[in-house]
Amino acid sequence: MEKVVLIVEDDANSRKLIRDLLQVSGHTTLEATDGKQGVALAKEKRPDLILMDIQLPVMDGLEATRILKADNETREIPIVALTAYAMEGDEERMLQAGCDGYFPKPIDVQEFLKKVSEYLVK
């Protein structure tokens, strides 16, 4: 069954890679380039999964996640953090903000597709 995945990522190359992987897997994608735009799109379209970069302009991914998880309309949408800046304590901060999981960049394609499928089944 086709699912809708919102990609919130400011880097065009990363966004394209993720979009292509998801579309080849049969999913529809929505895209936002900053946290504020991502929050608005999530509230409007209610995707099945949100892939949220952490380092974003306008509003970072942790703040965007907190807003979406505090809203009754969007709190049940799984949000998986994407970040190239994995430092000690980052995973804990992402989970505390409400992220349901975490993908380090660069993305391991096989692991990424496997985990995305698991989040979409939940």
Q: Which amino acid is at 89?
A: G
Q: State the pLDDT at residue 121.
A: 86
Q: What domains can be seen in the chain, in order of their start residue?
A: 4-121 (3.40.50.2300)
What is the residue-level pLDDT of the chain in tens, covering all 122 positions? 679 999 999 999 999 999 999 999 999 999 999 999 999 999 999 999 999 998 899 999 999 999 999 999 999 999 999 877 655 666 778 878 899 988 888 888 899 999 999 999 87
Q: State the pLDDT at residue 86.
A: 59
Alpha-carbon gap, residue 1 to 47, rounded angstroms: 14
Q: State the pLDDT at residue 79.
A: 96
Contacts of residue 63, defined as CB under 8 A and 6 or more positions apart, other chains included, come to 35, 97
Q: State the pLDDT at residue 87.
A: 59
